[in-house]
Amino acid sequence: MAIRSRRPDAAGFRAWLARESPRQTIASALSGAVILIFMPWSFDTIWTSRFAVFGILLVPYGIAMVVLALSYALLTFIAFRDRTGDALASLARHSSPRTLLERRRMQFFGTNEGSLAVTVAIVSLIFVAMLLLDPEVREVEWAVPAVLASVLSSWALIVTSFAVKYLREWAVASAITLEADSEPPQFSDFVFLAVQMSTGYAAGLGHFRTSAARRTATFHNVLAFIFNSVIIALLVTVALPAVV
């Protein structure tokens, strides 16, 4: 009599992991645990500033953002690695929201790719503003490196989340076409496209064929412009005097 294997279904696990919510939930839980672990250290600092509430979270948040970016990128790599061409498109389609209600629910709860990018960018901007507006915050040990880490991690999260977004646009609606190549598309191609958009190089690799895809690309460009031109510029203004 045949014995049914009890080993986990690797394909089923990767299909589950390719959905946006599980990866965000796991990565957020890990980063949240980091904040709880390092929070007692922050309470040892005596705060008299009006930014005390944010200051308590400053260094733990910087560490947590590194964990969030690394874990989200790693989980995304595990989900989509080794898939190319039709296999990659099939995985992206089956792991995308199936109904309008599901898409709206993800948008409402901030669990879609665009919401993740906006959230991390806004929070990074808040911490950069803290460094600029309050000298007491700048004097906190590890404050500047922590905010630097959070900004770099936010940039990496923006790239990864939009790479997944472009992958789904390509697979579900054929809204993006890539330059002709001898090899079938793989996830790294969409990472490359997201890096191009985040660095102001525009869409050298891809062509956006629908209004929805162009709106996504425009939103990405605007977000990248704000992030690169404002957040990083302000942070460098604070960081350079601190390290020189």
Q: What is the pLDDT of residues 11-28, one digit of tens each?
A: 788 888 889 888 999 999
Question: Looking at residue 163, what is its pLDDT?
Answer: 94
144: nearest Cα among 51, 59, 56, 53: 59
The partner residues of 176 in beta bridges, in order of sequence, read 208
CB 177 within 8 A of CB 209: yes
Mean pLDDT over 79-89 rounds to 90
Q: Residue holding tokens 């308590």?
A: 56
Compare 43 and 167 and report the one with higher pLDDT. Answer: 167
CA dihedral sign, ordered 139, 226, 161, 159: negative
Locate 111 and state its tokens.
């669990």
pLDDT, tens digit, 9 for 90 and up, residues 124-167: 888 888 777 777 777 777 777 888 888 889 999 999 999 999 99
Mean pLDDT over 108-135 rounds to 77
The partner residues of 224 in beta bridges, in order of sequence, read none
3-state secondary structure of 47: coil
**N residues, the chain:** 244
83: nearest Cα among 10, 145, 1, 136: 10
Instruction: Examine the pLDDT at 2 and tell me if it is beyond 50.
Output: no
* Per-residue confidence band for 3, with pLDDT thresholds at 50, 70 and 90: very low
Mean pLDDT over 105-112 rounds to 68
* Domain range list for the chain: 20-243
Give the burial class of 177: count Cβ atoms within 10 A of its Cβ; 0-12 exposed, 13-18 middle, 19 or more buried. Answer: middle
Instruction: Examine the pLDDT at 79 and tell me if it is beyond 70.
Output: yes
